[in-house]
Structure 1
Amino acid sequence: MRWKYVHASVVTAATLAGVSGTASAARVDYTIDAGIEQNDNVALSTTDPIDQRYLRGGLGFTITESTSSLQANVDGRVEYRDYEDDIFRDTVDGTLAGRLNWIAIPQRLFFSVEDSLSVQPVDALAPDAPGNRQQVNVFSAGPTLLLAWSPSLHGQAELRYVNSDAEVTDEFNSQRLAAALRIIRELTPTSSVTFNVQGQRVDFDDDIVARDYDRYDLYARYVRTLAHFELGADLGYSRISYRQGGSGTRSEPLIRADATWNPTASSSFTLAASSEFSDTAVDALSGIDADATLPENVLTGDAVVNASPYEVRSLDLGYAYTGTRIQFSVAPFVQERDYIESDEFDQDSHGASADFSWLVRRTLRLGLYAADERRTYTSLNRDEDTLRIGATLRYSWVRHWSVGLQWERYKRDSSVVGEDVSQNIVYLNVTYGNR
């Protein structure tokens, strides 16, 4: 079944590349790597770690296109692992994230497609072992009608079909129909306000374990864009209304704010804060980056894959520096998540991630990364502290070809007795890149 999800992601990407090619040549970047990976606790066992060496290979790609009639940004990766001794079945995991906009009628009508394929845990409380992973795909498509009443007053009418599908957790599977009407008022050349009315009808495949609901949002958004500073703020109200069984409705304020400051051409600060309703499918689509980047790994996410929406309050900060030879970023965060259907997975979390890259010389690059998160499941009275640190070294001896060495340590400390685990991974590989 897993190959079905990965194959679908590759077909989607190939389709986007083919569509792009009808207008002009799309830019396609890819890397192919193959090598040997050493893992000192492949099953992430707490008592009897299994040390194993196995084959690993991957294909990462990006597809970008920008013309007057088509814009596309897609990135993805497929990875294969050939385990020894039949401890685990050989696995194929994949990720895909992308958007495509086709301009059907200039300044009047365009059609959008979005897709997010990721690897998520089957059991969010268990460690990231090979047997605790599943592919989760969220697909969205639909038209947007543009309206122009005056030079300073515009409108948008949107309709989207959304399909969400999980490889193992069937209660997540659903079809959605979402519609929105937006009225945009240009206040000045650098500022605008938008009034938004949107609704979403969610129908789950399994009505026994998941309840269908409708969601409505009414809010205004203010945007100010300057040469080195951007500010956005949303203020409104949201309501979730269940169509059968149990509690009927729940309403909460919708508050969001985001800001970006670029004091120099090489550095930027970001801030994002929110208090709103969300769910795993909505988060998957909103997490698609505007710019495609070439993925180097397939990482398992930390989403709770279920049918319940939740109220989330979060604060994310970020700093990034991009120089000629050095790149650096750091991103601390705080989040509180309260589930509507059940409080089992209610959680408070905080942590930070950091990345560092240094071009030692033209043919040699060193990378360091770290991510630390402390999560408290408030109803379960359970604490989890997860640390992931690593280093990469890549040497390019001729054009297109390089050899890389990656080391990573994963450590998970739990307040539950007997569930602390750790793992060290070393991956030696040869890579071919088309650029």
Structure 2
Amino acid sequence: MLARRAVAGAVLVALAAGPTAVCAGQFDYSLYGGIEHSNNVALSTDNPQSANIFIPGANFTYLQQGSTFQANVAGTVEYRHYATSSFDDTTQTELAATGNWTVIPSRLDFTVADYAGVRPVDSLASDSPDNQQQTNVLTLGPVLKLRFGDAMRGQVELHYINSYASKVDDFNSSRGVLAGRLFRDISPTDVVSLNVETQRVTFQNDAAGSNYSRDEGFLRYTSQLAHFDADLTVGYSRLDFDHGGTESKPLLRAAIGWQPTTRSSFGISGAYQFSDAAQDLSTPLSPFVLSSTLEPGPGQTSLGGNTVVGNTVVDSDVYLQRELQASYSYQGTRLSFTVSPMFRKLEYINDHTFDQTGRGGSAALTYRVRPTMDLSLFATAEKLDYNVISRTDKTWRFGAAFQHTLTSHWSWRAAISREKRDSNAAGQSYRENEIFVGVVYRR
């Protein structure tokens, strides 16, 4: 059901462009298929079950930068057939799609965004196939643009947001957002803005929790230089729950990127803000995503394809988020690598069961053995402390992948990985080895 919703969102973005835009846009795709073997598909502590999984799938991207319509779509649709286990076959979809239709030039736009993903049903349980669900967050609405001079402009936005999960009803909600923004150009590369937003959140399930309103006011500064960019936000947020409680906190966000050379780049981002699962699952799609390879990459939860099972707690509660991430990337002629540490602390407002502190990071290295052969190594590590229930999970995943390009359209790929979790919660430690072999056809 949700897979169809996610695909429908991508189709909606594409159809809104009309025949002219489809011809002018850039559409790319790849088809892949292979066999994955797991020696512990259910991620069990003491009863490992082996399984062979047949995985066909497709990746697709669409980029349109027209004067009337702009679209940026990237997605994966994957089917998983469990040949030697008791799990049901599943279709998994990941999608990040944004579209903007200029109704009246320089006056009125209509925007659409859709984000679909795979998330756990119970985030405290291991990520077995029967503990996965599809999520979807759809946003749409008009944007009114105003001009007050050569250097100052305004913007009024009205958006409807619908969040949906295939198994957890508490996540399902409808939201209305009204925002007013005033922009001031202080240089050709620097902009400062004053922003006021109000949001009303209504849950479809009465037992999910209290409906609430969220009001925010903040100043934002952005700078885009040739080798440096910055996005800084400072303000204040207030939550007003229907059951009578209120919460107020400062709002701080920062993202800084620096490219000292053509091969090296640094990035750091942080946040101190109220957030929830719907906001976490609707991260804006970067246009640079479309420049990445369409083939399945290393370091993913599934070696077979591109769908990645995240660890977001899919529920209705709001949390105070403290987050800090950094990254360094090097892109050489033959050697490329990325290192990315992270820190995250979540404090839930109404139910503190999932209060957590996470520390970890990831690293990936790719070496071009020949112009048509790549060898990759990858590793991720995370220590997650649940503060209220006194639980600690330590999870490691590492492995290697080999890819051989046969022609301009065909390639094959093999990968092996090991994942292990040590937990002080009963029945939550496990070990798993995975092997995958498959082929990819790229348009």
TM-score range, shorter chain: over 0.9
> Residue by residue, what CA displacement relative to the aligned partner does 1:91-112 show, whole Å, maximum 9, x if unpaired?
1111111211112222222111
Quote how far apart the aligned CAs of 1:292 are: 3.5
Paired position in structure 1 for 2:266: 269
Alignment RMSD, CA only?
Answer: 1.6
Offset from partner CA, 1:269-302 (integer Å, 9 cap, x none): 1111111101111111225333344362211100
Does 2:433 match 1:424?
Answer: yes
Contact 1:353 1:370 in 2 (8 A): yes
Helix, strand or coil for the counterpart of 1:150? coil
Q: How many residues align?
A: 429
Encode CA deviations 1:177-226: one digit per residue, 9 max, x unaligned.
Answer: 00110111122333222111001000000122321000000111122333
Distance 1:26 1:398, change over 3 A: same
Cα distance in 2 between the residues matched to 1:381 and 1:145: 49
Which residue identity is paired with 1:411?
A: K
Aligned equivalent of 2:308:
299
Shift in CA distance, 358/65, structure 1 to aligned 2, threshold 3 Å: farther
Summarize the alignment of residues 232-271 of structure 1 with structure 2, pairs less than 5 Å apart: 232-243=231-242, 245=243, 247-271=244-268
Name the counterpart of 1:64. Answer: 63
Instruction: Identify the residue that residue 31 of structure 2 maps to in structure 1.
Output: 32
Query: 5 Å matches for 1:194-343?
Result: 194-243=193-242, 245=243, 247-293=244-290, 294=294, 296=296, 297-343=306-352
**Cα distance, 1:136–1:186 mapped onto 2, change above 3 Å:** same
SS of alignment partner, residue 253 of structure 2: strand
- Work out which of the residue numbers 8, 25, 34 in structure 2 matches 1:11: 8
Task: Provide the rounded CA distance (Å) in 1 between the counterparts of 2:295 and 2:146.
Answer: 38
Partner of 1:146: 145
| Structure 2 counterpart of 1:392 | 401
Per-residue deviation at 1:85?
4.5
Shift of 1:86: 5.0
Select 1:378's aligned residue among 368, 374, 387: 387
Name stretches of at least 5 consecutive residues in structure 2 with no aligned partner: 297-305
Separation in structure 2 between the aligned mates of residue 101 and residue 133 of structure 1, nearest angstrom: 32
CA contact (8 A) 1:387 1:412 kept: yes
Distance 1:283 1:401 in 2: 36
Q: Which SS does the other structure have where 1:54 is aligned? A: strand
1:70-109 paired onto structure 2 within 5 Å: 70-85=69-84, 87-109=86-108
Counterpart AA for 1:61: F
Amino acid at match of 2:113: E
| Secondary structure, aligned partner of 1:354 | strand
Counterpart residue type for residue 318 of structure 1: S
- AA aligned to 2:406 is W
Identify the match of residue 356 of structure 2 among 329, 336, 347. 347
CA distance in 1, matches of 2:374, 2:84: 35
Change (3 A) 1:394 1:295: closer
What is the CA distance between 1:355 and its match in structure 2?
Answer: 2.1
Q: TM-score, normalised by structure 1?
A: 0.95
- Inter-CA distance 227–54: structure 2 relative to 1 (3 Å threshold): closer
CA contact (8 A) 2:30 2:295 kept: no
Looking at structure 1, the residues matched to 34 and 323 of structure 2 have their Cα atoms a distance apart, in angstroms, of 39
Task: Quote the offset at 1:362 in angstroms.
Answer: 2.0
SS in structure 1 at match of 2:352? coil
Moved more, 361-370 or 248-257: 361-370
Distance 1:224 1:13 in 2: 31
CA deviations on 1:124-174 (whole Å, 9 max, x unpaired) are: 011110010000100001111111101111111111100000011101100
Residues 287 and 357 of structure 1, relative CA distance in 2, 3 Å threshold: farther
Please give the alpha-carbon distance, in whole angstroms, between the structure 2 residues aligned to 1:341 and 1:202: 15
Residue of structure 2 in register with 1:22 after alignment: 20
- Residue 177 of structure 1 aligns to a residue whose secondary structure is strand
- Whichever residue aligns with residue 20 of structure 2, its letter is T
> For residues 250 and 260 of structure 1, do their structure 2 counterparts lie closer, same or farther at Cα, with a shift above 3 Å needed?
same
Larger CA deviation: 11-20 vs 196-205:
11-20
| Deviation sequence 1:6-55 (CA, Å, 0-9, x none) | 12222332343344443233212111111211110011111111112232
Distance 2:335 2:35 in 1: 29
> Structure 1: 5+ residue runs without aligned partners?
none
Inter-partner Cα distance in structure 2 for 1:102 and 1:89: 40
- Counterpart-to-counterpart distance in 1, 2:419 and 2:328: 24
Percentage of matched positions with identical amino acids: 39
The farther-off stretch of 167-176 and 356-365 is: 356-365
Cα distance in 2, alignment partners of residues 207 and 62 from structure 1: 38
SS in 1 for 2:282: helix
